[in-house]
Amino acid sequence: MKKIFAVNVLLAVCVAAVGYFGFCNGFDGGCDGYEVAATSSPFSINVVDEDEGKVHTKLFGLIDLKTSKAQKSEDREVWLGGFPLGLDLDLKGLMITGRSGVVTSDGAASPCENTDIRSGDVLVAIDGRPVGSDKTIAEILNAKKGEPVELCILRGDERKTYTVTPVKDVLSGNYRIGLALQDGIAGIGTATFINKDTGKYACLGHAILSQDGSVVRIDGGKIYNAFISGCVKGKIGKAGELNGTFNSKSVSLGTIEKNCTFGNYGVYTGKTSSLKSVKIGGRNSIRPGKAQIYSTVSGSEPEYYDIEIIKLNEQTAPSDKSMVIRIVDKSLLNATGGIVQGMSGSPILQNGKLVGAVTHVFSADPTKGYGIYADWMYELTR
């Protein structure tokens, strides 16, 4: 019977350390405060029985405290990511980026001035007709000739309706509602892995969020090869960022199907012959201590960098903020100052297995950040 023992010797009095993290990529995503505290029983021992698929937590190694299900990883093998991806997301409507005045024959006007429509909202329909382009909006508004219209707005999971009166723009001759709109979101993140069995990929490890903090609802999208051209180093109080480019007119590497709390997911259609094969390490097999991330901070080829896993959170159901990591690799610290925007999704490996992905950086200390367990990301690629 194969067993793995891990001893956690903790103080009976928990000591909390509080800090904050900023964005970990070019998207507005997943940021709030965090609290690190010891939560395990003092002097407890976790006995991982891989043959029986159970984890036994014992006080002083003798008294059973609980038994939970262990994660077996032998049959879970993936293609390792670490390379940058250009993400071009289509939206369920048009995202509102702000309000704009309209020049009319009577002066400047703002049709939405008395509403609470805000940046980050998505305009889904006008008078019940779906909108996906400025051309469609112009057709609807011009046909109404200045009569009031009903706007359907999506804010997170909430649908809201507003009645506004369009005004005629003397410069273009079109009726307008005074909203600045965009039809998609683009940015760069890091691929985590590709499921060998399904061909589905995982990247980022956290959601792309709108300006109000809600998860952006998407209507598909595509992924592309990306190239990292430089880096703005992170410093205390301000996250750094990778600078990169991708060509949305080139051949895509696959489709984007989902944007959720645990990242971006879809089908990968690019070549995998040059990628490394690696097994998933179940969350119960991870230990604080030495590990590596596999990430690209220049060009398009990933490299291994040394890190430390300094805290693990016990999670029995999918959740983000699974672990706290610290960058210790001198070459990476010299290049980036720590974790920077654009590194989200970078694989975390321990003992040769994929155990997680980088998700956030602590703005109070850019050498530290959060990672998510690979278990949770893998389930979304099955």
pLDDT tens string 136-165: 899 999 998 889 999 999 887 789 999 999
Q: What angle do CA 46, 291, 19 make, to 5 degrees?
A: 85
248 labelled catalytic: no
Going from the N-terminus, what domains does the chain have, and what CATH number goes with each? Answer: 3-23+32-69 (no CATH), 77-89+186-379 (2.40.10.120), 101-177 (2.30.42.10)
Please tell me which residue in 210, 322, 344, 346 is annotated as part of the active site.
344
206 labelled catalytic: yes
* pLDDT recorded at residue 61: 47
Please tell me which residue in 28, 206, 295, 363 is annotated as part of the active site.
206
Q: What angle do CA 93, 97, 103 make, to 5 degrees?
A: 105
- pTM comes to 0.74
212 labelled catalytic: no
Determine the 3-state secondary structure of 260 from DSSP: strand
- Report the DSSP pairing between strands 263-268 and 277-279: unpaired
* pLDDT recorded at residue 54: 53
Q: Indicate the pLDDT class of residue 225, thresholds 50, 70 and 90.
A: very high
Per-residue pLDDT tens for 244-275? 999 989 999 999 999 999 999 999 999 999 99
* pLDDT recorded at residue 98: 85
Determine the 3-state secondary structure of 300 from DSSP: coil
**How far is it, in rounded angstroms, from Cα 37 to Cα 40?**
9
pLDDT of 241 higher than 50: yes
* pLDDT recorded at residue 323: 95
> What integer is the mean pLDDT of 298-313?
96
Main-chain dihedrals φ then ψ at residue 92, nearest 5 degrees? -85, 70
* pLDDT recorded at residue 119: 85
**How far is it, in rounded angstroms, from Cα 331 to Cα 337?**
9
Please tell me which residue in 90, 127, 306, 329 is annotated as part of the active site.
329
Per-residue pLDDT tens for 11-60? 222 222 222 222 333 443 333 333 222 233 334 344 444 444 454 455 54
